[in-house]
Structure 1
Amino acid sequence: MQIKGVLFDFSGTLFRIEPVRSWLRAVLAERGVAVGEADFERYVSELTAAGALPGGPLPRQLPARLAAMWATRDQSAELHREAYTTLARQVALPDPGLYDALYERHRTPAAWRPYPDAAEVLGALRDSGIRTGVVSNIGWDLRPVFRAHGLDASVESYVLSYEHGIQKPDARIFHMACTSLGLDPADVVMVGDDRQADGGAAALGCDVRFVRHLPVEERPDGLRTLGLVPGVA
């Protein structure tokens, strides 16, 4: 196929959230809350098991009472915040203000790192005249993250689930994303890390290619090897 456009997922594809350990440490420092090393390690373990960090490890055991909220969490900003702060509140942290502070931290550019080849691949697509967009299941505006890391100039459109009340793998969100680029889905590649959610684009006729959701240091060239741009591999 001749690629005319590429849609990218956000978390685990172009960017990776910081580890639970640094997430918690940053918020404790910001709020001036001191905890002992043993307590800190316990909080890290319990927050990880709870799946409290958006973009981080999934809950090891989701409480039944949260199942409906979890399934639709990316359809609005309110649901997203409620889902993740509720998961975090399963952990008895020493300051009640930490739950909202942790949620706010994950929305900051400092909490995210682009994968090593993200800037190169996005820039090469732009320079080749291939249109690019981001389509993400998310509950907040990720555009400032792209701007802060210098990637916004290479992205033409953003289609975010919470802004439309529709989340992947619903084909409608991919249709919106293709339309935002002015392209037929058959001319578009969807790149993501989730075979179920991102794989929904195949229903429209998009080619779908996957990367592995790994720490930044462990995936230096996952995007580069997808063959999106001639000469970049």
Structure 2
Amino acid sequence: MDRGCLAVVFDLFGTLVPAYPHHAVLTEMAAVLGMDMDRLSFIAAFVEDTRDRRETGQFESLEENLRFICDRLGREVPQDRLHDAVRIRRDFTRASLTPREHALSTLGELRGRGLGVGMISDCCEVVPPAWRESPFASHVDVAIFSCEVGVKKPNPKIYQRACDALGARPSRCLYVGDGGSDELSGAVGVGMEAVLLAVPGEEGIDPYRPGAATWKGRTIGSLREVLDIARR
């Protein structure tokens, strides 16, 4: 890192908050939509087939995304069922934004040292309002949501946007993530130093971390370790 660290940018899910089982909430949503027998098809359509469109804001809403999936699977679903499925996802998202151990204290200490603190999340439109109601909002200087900016990790533009907003060159920024969305290689690609957070006991909870298994760079097991790396 050139002449010390000026800012630290964190991933959200699996990093600032613990990893969570995607399939549990998706199974509940499928049941509400009357797709118990098509549960696996629904999950595949949500997680794989429409994820990029949802997380880059190409669907106007989560409800539109769910309607698209239902139509493609040949299911007519009443409007109230769609509303219920959206509510389940919103409630789950709010509950998921519980800071992991040492998260808020680490963010506070970094800012106390004069470092900028940012967050980048690949997410759909239910996350930004939940974030703004969460304890994180007052601890982070810059929050970038893929659904609002139209690009997601590992696109270089989303990292550069965070660095620009923090007023620091990528070469003086540290990126911390759990390896989802190939985020670590994306951060390195724009010149940031990247660190994998691999918390003991969370292996296998989230199957969508393509970068974690192949990462050869620095790895930490607790957010507190960021404080030893991020030095001005």
Does TM, normalized by the shorter one, top 0.5? Answer: yes
| Offset of residue 197 of structure 1 | 3.3
Q: For residues 144-181 of structure 1, give each alpha carbon's deviation from its aligned partner in whole angstroms, at most 9, with x where no partner exists.
A: 43444422111001111122211211101111110000
Q: For residues 10-56 of structure 1, give each alpha carbon's deviation from its aligned partner in whole angstroms, at most 9, with x where no partner exists.
A: 2222124566546776999xxxx8xxxxx9xx94x9646743797xx
Aligned residues: CA RMSD:
4.0
| Offset of residue 195 of structure 1 | 5.9
* Distance (Å, rounded) in 2 between the aligned partners of 1:83 and 1:94: 13
Residue equivalent to 1:99: 82
Q: For residues 202-230 of structure 1, give each alpha carbon's deviation from its aligned partner in whole angstroms, at most 9, with x where no partner exists.
A: 111001111248759x9xx84425x3213
**Partner letter of residue 171 of structure 2?**
A
* Distance (Å, rounded) in 2 between the aligned partners of 1:72 and 1:157: 23
Q: 1:156 to 1:181 in 2, by over 3 A?
A: same
Residues 52-71 of structure 1: pairs in structure 2 closer than 5 A: 58=47, 66=49, 69-71=50-52
CA contact (8 A) 1:6 1:130 kept: yes
CA contact (8 A) 1:174 1:201 kept: yes
Secondary structure in 1 matching 2:168: coil
Secondary structure in 2 matching 1:8: strand
Residue equivalent to 2:163: 178
Q: TM-score, normalised by structure 1?
A: 0.67
CA contact (8 A) 2:5 2:172 kept: yes
Residue equivalent to 2:55: 74
* Distance (Å, rounded) in 2 between the aligned partners of 1:208 and 1:231: 11
Match status 1:229 vs 2:227: yes
Match status 1:6 vs 2:8: yes
Q: Structure 2: 5+ residue runs without aligned partners?
A: 206-219
CA contact (8 A) 1:18 1:112 kept: no
Secondary structure in 2 matching 1:113: coil
* Distance (Å, rounded) in 1 between the aligned partners of 2:96 and 2:195: 26
Match status 1:137 vs 2:99: no
Identity of aligned residues (%): 21
* Distance (Å, rounded) in 2 between the aligned partners of 1:111 and 1:228: 22
Q: 1:49 to 1:14 in 2, by over 3 A?
A: farther
Residue equivalent to 1:167: 152
| Offset of residue 124 of structure 1 | 1.9
**Partner letter of residue 106 of structure 1?**
R
* Pairs aligned (count): 206
Q: After the TM superposition, which of the residue ranges 190-199 and 89-98 deviates more from structure 2?
A: 89-98
Q: 1:20 to 1:174 in 2, by over 3 A?
A: same
* Distance (Å, rounded) in 2 between the aligned partners of 1:48 and 1:116: 33
Q: Structure 1: 5+ residue runs without aligned partners?
A: 34-38, 60-65
Secondary structure in 1 matching 2:176: strand
Residue equivalent to 1:153: 138
Q: 1:143 to 1:164 in 2, by over 3 A?
A: closer
Residues 200-219 of structure 1: pairs in structure 2 closer than 5 A: 200-212=186-198
Q: TM-score, normalised by structure 2?
A: 0.67
* Distance (Å, rounded) in 2 between the aligned partners of 1:191 and 1:100: 35
